Structure 1
Amino acid sequence: MQDEYQIDKSRMRQSFHRAAKQYDAAAILQRQVREEMLSRLDVVKLDPEVILDAGCGTGHGLSALLKHFKQAQGIALDIAEGMLVRSRTLFPRYKFWQASPRFVCADIESLPLATASVDMVWSNLAMQWCNDLDAALQEFRRVLRPNGLLMFATLGPDTLRELRAASGAGHTHVSRFIDMHDIGDALTRAGFSAPVLDVMHYTLTYESVESVMRDLKAIGAHNATVGRAKGLSGKGFLQQLRQGYETFRHDGKLPATYEVVFVHAWTGSQPYTAPGTSPVQFMPRKDSQR
């Protein structure tokens, strides 16, 4: 039986491609989370040569990282070509960059990058669009070099709780988000060491349900689950949504809650080995005594 919360990657790609031009104006949460992630780099001892921004969006995260790590080279990777087109406008050949970033259109769950080719993987609010968290983390572990850093932020299960409650039962109206403890378990399975995870809650406020939906559409965050309603939502559903959401109004505003899980973990000193395999050690032969 098909999982109704599985992401339709084709629909997701099209949504983000179309949203690229107006994305920055509506990406309030993404900016706030990016600044929080950048502030956490102050306590990280790392001098990366190559940084991968996985799910780079319009490129502001990678731009900030390359200004922070001035000798690093960057890889901007996104599933939507429109996002990469916007990203390119941020990267003229400034003197503090060794080279312009490489731009790669690909899925996080299947990275077209060589094993042990990057020193740092960064991802700001993209991991929630993965169908297989284990596959994505295995790919990150594969492309990272020994003593490499994985740093990402993703959405937890408390995200958009008001919209979920107001939309009621039936079709999937909000994506399913993964609990912090399950993310920690997946990091361990993927071979990461010393994972650190914590949660912060952000609340954006709106005048109406329509403005909530407008912002989600502007950043490309359409409902891309296979269990979504395939036809147009009728007036009855919209009226139900308005009435249900009104129960959350506070101080004249409608809240939209986001649970953000912040993660960083290291690869350790050992080189990558594929799941189900182990390195073979050859010991020098000792001459037998006679």
Structure 2
Amino acid sequence: MKNISIKQLNVFCQIARSGSLSLAAEHLFMSKAAVSLSLTELEKHLGHRVFDRVNQRLHLNHQGYQLLPLADELLQRHAEIELLYAQSAPLAGTLKVGASQTVGSYLLPYLLADFEKERVMDFSTGDEPNYIDKQVQITNHFELCQNILDYKVDVGFTEGVVQHPDLISLPFTHDEMWIIAAKGASKFDEETIDVKALSGQQWLLREEGSGSRDFFIQHIAPSLTAWDTHFQFNSNAAIINGVTAGLGLSCLSHHVITKGNLSPHLQIISLSTSMQRSFSILLHKNKYQSPLLNCFVEFSKRWGIQTANELA
């Protein structure tokens, strides 16, 4: 066990994230043979296989899942030690941020910009803030959760409901969902209608795994006597254009519709039912939280309370 090296742990983590020797080798600027040898040496020292080999892919087994959070923490602490005396500022390194489509497209850019501004202000005495390599992945809610579980991202932002026991969900901010229709849909011209009045309509929904779709299924569909998924899109912009073209109704965040500059050919249907939902910050419960990650999470919680409503 004493012979396990930082290099071997780094190789292990990269393979765990990519599931491929070739992709890990490409990321680490190593040959595939060198990556394979490093993994073999690690498994020899451990006395256990940490991956199952299935159809030329590597999948973490039970031993691998036990090792991953420990290896991730050791690598981050190793990076902190290297930066400890090389740079004067306390925050530096890599921050891997993930977000679902709505948060990632309409809130996260403002959050990151304000985080940068605060860091510059913190060093207004003369010292320059350390460089932070920020990597951002925008996907749907289901894939975001899986990326956090696989240690592919450090922190995530989502509108979906989180149920996995290994994920920590912290409050971020609130959101309001709007029902949109093509302008001139006369049956929806009333000032406020009951959600049941939308029964029998055709709907344009996001793909399975999307928080917006989950909201519709859980909070709107149960009140409808009949409804039909007319089209399924993996893009909010495509849904807005589809509704504008008269393909059906949809349910989207007010951030999406407002920031997308509501078309004059669309109308918002006013409902008597509350259409509120919450955005959350997601973390893996076993992941080591570096000073940089802790700083960003605390800033994000403050930002969500103070700023998000101003972007509506």
TM-score (norm: length of structure 1): 0.31
Structure showing greater Rg? 2
Please identify which structure carries the higher helix content.
Answer: 2
TM-score (norm: length of structure 2): 0.29
